[in-house]
Amino acid sequence: SIESTYYSRRRIDMPVTDIITDLDNRTLTILATFAAPVERVWELYADPRQLELVWGPPSHPATFVAHSLTVGSRTVYYMTGPDGERFAGWWRVTAVDEPLSFAFDDGFADADFNDVPDLPVSHNVYSFERDGDQTKARFVATYDSADDLQKVLDMGVEEGTRLALGQVDAYLAQHP
């Protein structure tokens, strides 16, 4: 149907509980629940050594070269595929409210971590809410155009993010 072309919502198993794609509003929203308190989830995202263990899907582990959750900082990282090929990216942190949220622009980079202007940039807000001993997380990525959102959807961003976030609970259980 036309509606499903422009807006889709999928129920997923934990920790990812929902993926909402809205082409009209150019957003991809991922909801997740983690079996750890907000402060522990924040620590995972703030520490590059921990974050790199869950950022990419298991087939494409991440290496963070620079990372700081401070306004104005630039994070650079790469993910390594099974064949050794590297895929680089960057963040520009735009807002921080420790331990409840942070915002950043996220883009693709070349091998020297320079911006790749022909590929989409997402404007992200990651927010965390206390729910007893658990954390409810909301990851919202907004794109400059519906075409940009569609481009990353075609690249597999939903599946890659679901797989990456699927590693978080196991990591947190092993490293409380």
Cα(first)–Cα(last) distance of the chain, in Å?
45
**The token pair that represents 21 in the structure block:** 């794609």
Q: What CATH number is attached to the domain comprising 98?
A: 3.30.530.20
- Residue 169 pLDDT: 85
Alpha carbon 8 to its chain's center:
19
Contact in structure between 22 and 3 (CB atoms under 8 Å): no
The pLDDT-based confidence of 14 (bands split at 50, 70, 90) is low
Number of domains in the chain: 1
Q: How far apart are CA 136 and CA 13, in angstroms?
A: 14
Helix (H, G, I), strand (E, B) or coil at 61: coil
Q: What is the pTM of this model?
A: 0.89
Supply the range of the domain harboring residue 130.
2-7+16-174
* Residue 36: pLDDT over 50: yes
Q: How far apart are CA 103 and CA 93, in angstroms?
A: 6
The pLDDT-based confidence of 176 (bands split at 50, 70, 90) is confident
pLDDT tens profile 113-166: 999 999 999 999 999 999 999 999 999 999 999 999 999 999 999 999 989 998
pLDDT tens profile 54-75: 998 899 999 999 999 999 999 9
Contact in structure between 21 and 3 (CB atoms under 8 Å): no
- The HSE-up count of residue 83 (CA atoms within 13 Å, CB side) is 2
- Residue 7 pLDDT: 41
pLDDT tens profile 76-88: 999 999 999 999 9
